[in-house]
Amino acid sequence: MSPYETLLREANDRPFAAIVGWPVEHSRSPALHGFWLKQHGISGHYGRLPVEPKRAALEELIAFLKRTPNARGCNLTLPHKIDIMPLLDRIDPLARHIGAVNTVIKQPDGTLEGRNSDGFGFLEALKQGAPGWQAAAGPATVLGAGGAARAVVATLVAAGVPELRLVNRTQKSAIDLGVAFTPSDGRRIAVERWDERDAALDGATLLVNTTSLGMKGQPPLEIDVGRLPANAVVDDIVYVPLETPLLAAARARGQRCIDGLDMLLHQGRLGFEAWFGQKVAVSREQRRAVAADLGA
């Protein structure tokens, strides 16, 4: 049975969406959307769809979404977030600005619109985890210049951080990202060298790790959080494990910490609400359910 047939069989004539990636088995998205479907008693399904990183495979996905009446859209994870873009009928301006799509929504006329909810999820998690945090209060330091960094940097600039410091192992990527996202109002994106990342923390009110360092199977992120002010917020968007060595070090110093799971949960709201027509909130119960799924 093909993955499409499996998905249709699981959906069993109900409206459905799915996470699309290669590989896709590790994704926790079915757990987080499944929680909301159950919580709100919605007759719907959210599944997994492995799609190879080939243009023909993505074209097959688009054709499937368009011809299947119950298909409401999908989420996209690695490696499809950029390659899907030319195949969609419309990209919303924020996703175009970020340069990646992680959510596809089928419109009433059957056309497909691409959006990016990573920045939304990041900011909602930040507001929830550090209620008094003010973008305008001081510099923010972002580590990394990959796909997630683009959404985080775009969001922090739009939120009004007065100065953004960007640090990446490959400095050229940070420079390119800095050029792409520098606002026209005179605020700066300063690119710092990777081996000088400790100094990039002096006086910063927010540190965000968007590198994969600290993730299961990766080396820990080595950085001296003691250089941050005591009231700084440390946000690690890695979510496997939930408590990365970076967050453990920051927590031991009494700094406010935000892990990657809340960003993951909040980014899911945008797609769910559009696909299933139900407003949803992130709750402790959902967090517990998805954290348990992560541990499984």
Ligand X SMILES: NC(=O)c1ccc[n+]([C@@H]2O[C@H](COP(=O)([O-])OP(=O)(O)OC[C@H]3O[C@@H](n4cnc5c(N)ncnc54)[C@H](OP(=O)(O)O)[C@@H]3O)[C@@H](O)[C@H]2O)c1
Q: Are 223 and 198 in contact (CB under 8 A)?
A: yes
Residue closer to ligand X, measured from CB, 113 or 235 = 235
Q: Taking the complex as a whole, how short is the minimal distance between the CB of residue 210 and ligand X, in angstroms?
A: 5
Residue 61, classed as helix, strand or coil, is helix
> Taking CB positions, which residue lies at the least distance from ligand X?
146
Q: Are 142 and 149 in contact (CB under 8 A)?
A: yes
Active-site pick, 66, 81, 106, 279:
81
Q: Taking the complex as a whole, how short is the minimal distance between the CB of residue 215 and ligand X, in angstroms?
A: 4
The CA–CA distances, whole Å, from 165 to 107, 138, 230 equal 39, 11, 19
Tell me the DSSP string of 98-151.
Answer: HT---EEEE-TTS-EEEE--HHHHHHHHHHHHSTT--GGGS-EEEE--SHHHHH
**Residues engaged in binding ligand X (CB under 6 A):** 118, 121, 144-149, 168-170, 173, 210-213, 215, 219, 237-239, 260, 263-264, 267
Q: Taking the complex as a whole, how short is the minimal distance between the CB of residue 195 and ligand X, in angstroms?
A: 11
Residue closer to ligand X, measured from CB, 15 or 81 = 81
- CA-CA distance, 284 to 247, in Å (whole number)? 20
Residues within the annotated binding site?
A: 27-29, 77, 102, 118, 144-148, 237, 239, 260, 267
What dihedral do alpha carbons 170, 175, 176, 182 form, nearest 10°? 140
CA atoms within 13 A on the CB side of 255: 26
81 in active site: yes
Nearest to 5 by CA among 77, 68, 76: 68
Q: Taking the complex as a whole, how short is the minimal distance between the CB of residue 93 and ligand X, in angstroms?
A: 20
> What is the set of active-site residues?
81
